[in-house]
Structure formats: structure tokens, C-alpha cells
Amino acid sequence: MTQASAPITQDVLTIPRKLPEPGLTNIVGLGRDALRAALIAAGTPEKQAKMRVNQIWQWVYVWGARDFDGMTNLAKSYRAELAENFYIGLPEMVSRQISSDGTQKYLARIAGGHEVEVVYIPEEDRGTLCISSQVGCTLTCSFCHTGTQKLVRNLTAAEIVGQIMMARDDLDDWPRPGEAYGERPRLISNIVLMGMGEPLYNFDAVRDAMKIAMDGEGISLSRRRITLSTSGVVPEIARCAEEIGCMLAISFHATTDEVRDRLVPINKKWPIAELLEALRKYPKASNSERITFEYVMLKDVNDSDEDAHRLIKLIKGIPAKINLIPFNEWPGAPYQRSDWARIKRFADIIYKAGYASPIRTPRGEDIMAACGQLKSATERARKSRAEIAAEIGEA
């Protein structure tokens, strides 16, 4: 892949945001039941609470309202009451970079001054938003830039769904006044939990956020348009189908435990056989809902013909598609991307065995927005060797 040469635009946004008063509750991130309870606790009569939830929900998640003033179907006095108790809070967008291929990378600041990256990838038939679930990651996959960053903290449900809302704000992806809902095609049509962090290590917040994103009377993204990618946290995998219902992607990346231990150290805790067993039992897997096996192509590490044949053998019987990811290099990375001819040959073997084997086109490489390159500017503290060793030992 050649590096893009066209100029890159970088905006540093300086929109001042009103900080919430201490003691106010953020509406964003509360599920319908939690919102109902919070409204009642703040004085909304119980009999009205359900209707108020519906109204506020519509304003926030269908129309993108950012304050209570504009909620014109609520009485003025009630709007004032809401403003005394609640706010509508999103991560603050601190910068936006646009790649020559149209990919956009946002830096979103969350409470505590931490920053996470959010990437928008426009394609002909869809627009995918790649969101983060943690600041940093506890895992230490050796080819992943995020893995060199310490886990700072889990994101809250508000911060996870808030990334989608923040990007919709920037892209003007809410219905405009006078526009019928759904009149304009949506720019963000798909969500992938493939940014920073291991989503299954922040399960509850990810689930709550995705439930809000999937709510049919709100952001309304179908569960089939949301993909959660995990490095293989085996005990949480079934919950993903049961409690979220979205599509599943597995960072597989190797065909022997020896190599996978090195690439995805969580493999020491849950090795390939255990992972595959969990996937065989995955409640949702079917021919129409295949599990995606992500496979990063690392030169001379996992890209041989034998690997391709072993991969096919291993996943036999699992409704699967295989997504080959040319390694996205980052400064100091200990690996190289496999040659193009090698990747094609690997894809060919898989295709001949009857699996779809798309090669993921690297996007946004010029702005370090590609898979696995995400890393916040403020959290560059590298883990020490001892810390990494300790975590791998633990994993």
C-alpha cells in the first residue's frame, strides 16, 4: 500500500463547552428505565414519567438536542426543572484530522482530561464509525499500538454512546429542522467496537451504550450493523449474543498456541481450543450471522500457506468469514506487513475452501487512523518491560 500524498487537514476545535454544574445527572447513557427512575427522583410525577422519557429520548437520540430549552413539547416550567437537575453531556471533540482518503479521526476528551480516538470511515455503501471502549488497554497484543499504552480507565456508557453522538454532530448526521426522519441517508450506518480497549473487559457499559444505540425510537442502529471485536475473553463471549445481540468479531491472528501466545497474550489464559469451543457454542452464529475472524498479516510470522490451511481446519463447522488485515505499521513496531502477493495467496487458499476472505483496505494511514494505530496523544506513557511481562504472565 502506498502512503497517501495529498494534504491532510487538521482542525483544532476550540468550541467552548459549558461544563455541567456539579450534582447534575447526565441524561446521555441512562437506559429508558434508569432515565425514568432519575426523572421520578427529581420530582416528575410517576404517572407522567413514561411519557416524559419518550419525549426526552426522542429529543436527545432522534433529533440530537443538546439542551432542554428547545424541547418545545414540554412545558416551560418542566424544561426549567429538567435543567436544574440534568444535563446532556457528550465527550468534547478536541481535534479532527481528515485523511486524503476521506477517513476522519477525532480526538474526544472525556472526564478527567483523558482522550480517546474515534474514526469515521466513509465507503460507497456505508459509513462506519470505529469507537473506543477503554482509555488504553490492559492487554498487550504485541502488534497493537494501543497495547503499549496503560489502561487508564473504562469508559462509561455515556462516553461510549456519546462518541457516536459527537461524530453525528460533526458530520451533521441528525435530521435537519423540517426534514422527515430518515429522509436523508445516514452517514453513520455501522458501528465497530474496534477502537481502543477490549470491549468485553468493560462489558456492562458497552452493553448499556449499544442498547441505547439500537433503540428503535432513537439512534436506531440495527444490531446487525454493530460489530464487537474481542481478543478472546472466553467467559464473556456468550453474553455478547445474549445481552447485546450484535455481530461478533474475534481477533484470531494465529493458528498455533505458540504463535498466538506471542501475538495475543490473552491466549495463555484462554488458548485456541477453548476459544473455538466458545465460538462453536455461540448462540447467535448461523449462516446469516457469521462470526468474523480477524487475521492480521504479519510477514513471516503467521502468513504461510500452512497457516492458511490450519486456519481453515480450525474453524471448520463455525459459520465464519475471515477478514485479513494487512498489518498497519507504527513507529517502533516489531513486525512488518506481509507482501501483497503473500496476502493474496493466503486469501486465495481461504476463498477456495469456501470462505469469504476480504482483505481490509487500510484506511487513514496518513493520519494514523488505521486499525490498531489508535493511541491518544496525552497517554503516551509506555509500559515498562516488567509491566508487560507481569500482565502477560497474568493473562
**Which residues in the 134-163 window bind ligand SF4 by CB under 6 A?**
137, 139-141, 144, 146-147
275 counts as binding ligand SF4 under rule CB under 6 A = no
**Which residues in the 346-375 window bind ligand SAH by CB under 6 A?**
371-373
117 counts as binding ligand SAH under rule CB under 6 A = no
Q: Which of 117, 198, 365, 391 is catalytic?
A: 117
Query: By CB neighbour count within 10 A (0-12 exposed, 13-18 middle, 19+ buried), where does 183 fall?
Result: exposed
373 counts as binding ligand SF4 under rule CB under 6 A = no
236 belongs to the catalytic site: no
Residue 100 Cβ vs ligand SF4, minimum distance, rounded to whole Å: 25
**Which one of ligand SF4, ligand SAH, none is in contact with 56 (Cβ closer than 5 to 8 A by kind)?**
none
Of the pair 85, 202, the CB lying nearest ligand SAH is at 202
**Which one of ligand SF4, ligand SAH, none is in contact with 325 (Cβ closer than 5 to 8 A by kind)?**
ligand SAH
Q: What residue type is 53 in one-letter code?
A: V
198 counts as binding ligand SAH under rule CB under 6 A = yes
Q: Which three cell numbers stand for residue 66?
A: 443538546
Of the pair 89, 265, the CB lying nearest ligand SF4 is at 265
Residue 147 Cβ vs ligand SF4, minimum distance, rounded to whole Å: 3
Q: Which three cell numbers stand for residue 14?
A: 476550540
Q: Which stretch binds ligand SAH (CB under 6 A): 32-40, 120-128, 160-168, 324-332?
A: 324-332
Of the pair 230, 255, the CB lying nearest ligand SF4 is at 230
Among 148, 154, 251, 255, binds ligand SAH (CB under 6 A): 251
Backbone angles phi, psi at 169, to 5 degrees: -60, -50
Cβ neighbours of residue 373 closer than 8 Å, sequence gap 6 or more: 145, 328, 330, 365
144 counts as binding ligand SAH under rule CB under 6 A = yes
327 counts as binding ligand SAH under rule CB under 6 A = yes
371 belongs to the catalytic site: yes
Q: Which stretch binds ligand SAH (CB under 6 A): 1-9, 141-149, 170-178, 210-218?
A: 141-149
Among 85, 190, 251, 338, binds ligand SF4 (CB under 6 A): 251
Dist CA 349 CA 247 (whole Å): 25
Residues annotated as catalytic are 117, 371
Which residues contact ligand SF4 (rule: CB under 6 A)?
137, 139-141, 144, 146-147, 197-198, 231, 251
